[in-house]
Amino acid sequence: MKKESDLWKLLKKNTPEITWTRVESWASPGVPDCIGYHDSCGLFMVELKLARAPKVVFSPHQILWHQTHQKRNFILVGQAGGAGPSARKPFKVKLYQSSAILGLLADHRETPCLALDDWSDITRLLLDAPLA
């Protein structure tokens, strides 16, 4: 996975029961990349990030958003493949709560995730998140 748009395609492909809308980041700084909708739970938001190092990079606006909007907001991190032969290695996809943002800024490998490489579990967690 080389671009965030690859993670977006993977999310849409593996969660067909969710209706997704991609948000243009220039329109409102800090707002997560994706709005998801399902009849069972309504709206929720997901920030897409690629991890190319231990620290996941967020803008100050994104940090503020995730610190102040922690209900029904998530961060989906794709472990980017490296250059050369390592680019062919399987990458990992991890789902985090928004409240995990400070840990992701320090080291995503040490930050507990909600789900790892399991799209059915990721879907369940996105749809089962409590409203309050």
**Average pLDDT by stretches of 10, the chain with 132 residues:** 86 96 82 94 94 92 93 90 56 93 94 95 88 52
In what side-by-side order are the strands of the sheet with 42-51?
19-22, 34-38, 42-51, 73-79, 93-97, 115-116
Q: Give the pLDDT of residue 73.
A: 94
Closest CA to 75 of 6, 125, 40: 125
Q: Does an H or E element contain 76, and which?
A: strand 73-79
Q: Give the pLDDT of residue 28.
A: 81
Q: Give the pLDDT of residue 97.
A: 95
Q: Give the pLDDT of residue 93.
A: 95
Closest CA to 70 of 7, 8, 4, 131: 131
* 93, 10 contact by CB (below 8 A): yes
pTM of the model: 0.88
Q: What angle do CA 87, 91, 76 make, to 5 degrees?
A: 130
In the chain, the domains with their CATH numbers are 4-109 (3.40.1350.10)
Q: Give the pLDDT of residue 29.
A: 84
